[in-house]
Amino acid sequence: MSTEKALALVVRGTDWSETSRISTLWTREFGKVRALAKGGRRLRSNFEVAFDLLTVCHIVFIHKHHGGLDLLTEAQVGERFPHLRTDLTALYAGYYIAELLSDGTQDFDPHPALFDAAVAALRAFGAVGSDRAGQVSAFELVWLRELGYSPRLESCTGCGREYSFPHAAGVRVGYSPTAGGIVCPDCGPTARDARPLSAAAWTALGDLARGGQTLGAAPRREVRLLLGQAVSAVLGRRPRLLGYVDAG
């Protein structure tokens, strides 16, 4: 066993007993950590009020290398996102991020860029006039990239034919979530889930992949549908919160 310190985002919590709680934490240093906080439900403990979902905490935990739950010994609040308590659509978007971090990643598989993207998105949700659909889409692309499923947007996933980006006028390609990117007109019929990809959506996906945070009005619905399908293909199911996010 070893004692570790980390910066963590609370992505799930379950009551374990009258006094203890199990928390799933996405840490910048170690990735996903599941830990038991003995006495965590008591009014006076070493955990302040750090168990609210989507709270950033500084934690200390004992890592049990043989497996099983780790032991959380200390948690202090580092950052909260108060706008999530007053904006229901922002809260749903935050819960969606928590679902992808909790259910779509492996224990102790660190991805600092994914932690940073999650916290950046939670902060951005509170900005006046922010493009929440664009911010959620940008996070999904980081999640896909860090898990090794970054969509191929500049070459056909079937034959490898390359396209300049943004693509040349008149080129018609499709997008296949299971293939993980675009398919050319020749390979499109072999990809059962391929659907036509508009020029506006193709360009928007490329902008987001390069660090953009906004979606234009024209490709918004199409990009959200495509990324939802891509995330679902990797996760093996449709995320529970995805419908709430896109309804907002």
Query: pLDDT class for 52, splitting at 50, 70, 90?
Result: confident
Q: Which residues contact 118 (CB under 8 A, 6 or more apart)?
A: 9, 26, 97, 101, 139
Tell me the C-alpha distance between 248 and 238, whole Å. Answer: 17
Domain residues for the domain of 45 are 2-79
Q: Which of 13, 47, 79 is the last residue of a domain?
A: 79
Is residue 113 domain-resident?
Answer: no
Q: pLDDT at position 106, please?
A: 95
DSSP 150: P
pLDDT tens digits, 10-23:
999 887 766 678 89
DSSP helix/strand/coil, 60: strand
Tens-place pLDDT, residues 165-208: 655 556 789 999 999 999 999 998 999 899 999 989 999 999 99
The pairing of strands 70-79 and 31-37 is parallel
Q: Which of 97-111, 156-170, 202-216 has the lowest mean pLDDT?
A: 156-170
> Residue 181 domain-assigned?
yes
Report the sign of the C-alpha dihedral through residues 207, 248, 130, 144, in that order. Answer: negative
As for how many domains the chain has, the answer is 2
Query: Across the chain, what does the average pLDDT equal?
Result: 90
Secondary structure (3-state) at 93: helix
CATH number at residue 137: 1.20.1440.120
Query: Can you give the pLDDT at residue 151?
Result: 94
Pick from 79, 114, 142: which residue ends a domain?
79
Residue 65 lies in a domain: yes
State which amino acid sits at residue 218. A
The residue among 63, 72, 57 whose CA lies nearest residue 3 is: 63
- Residues 74, 140 share a domain: no
The whole-model pTM stands at 0.92
* Burial class of residue 151 in the structure, from the number of CB atoms within 10 Å of its CB (0-12 exposed, 13-18 middle, 19+ buried): buried
CATH of residue 55's domain is 2.40.50.140
Q: Three-state SS across 161-206?
A: CECCCCCCCCCCEEEECCCCEEECCCCHHHCCCCEEECHHHHHHHH
pLDDT exceeds 80 at position 235: yes
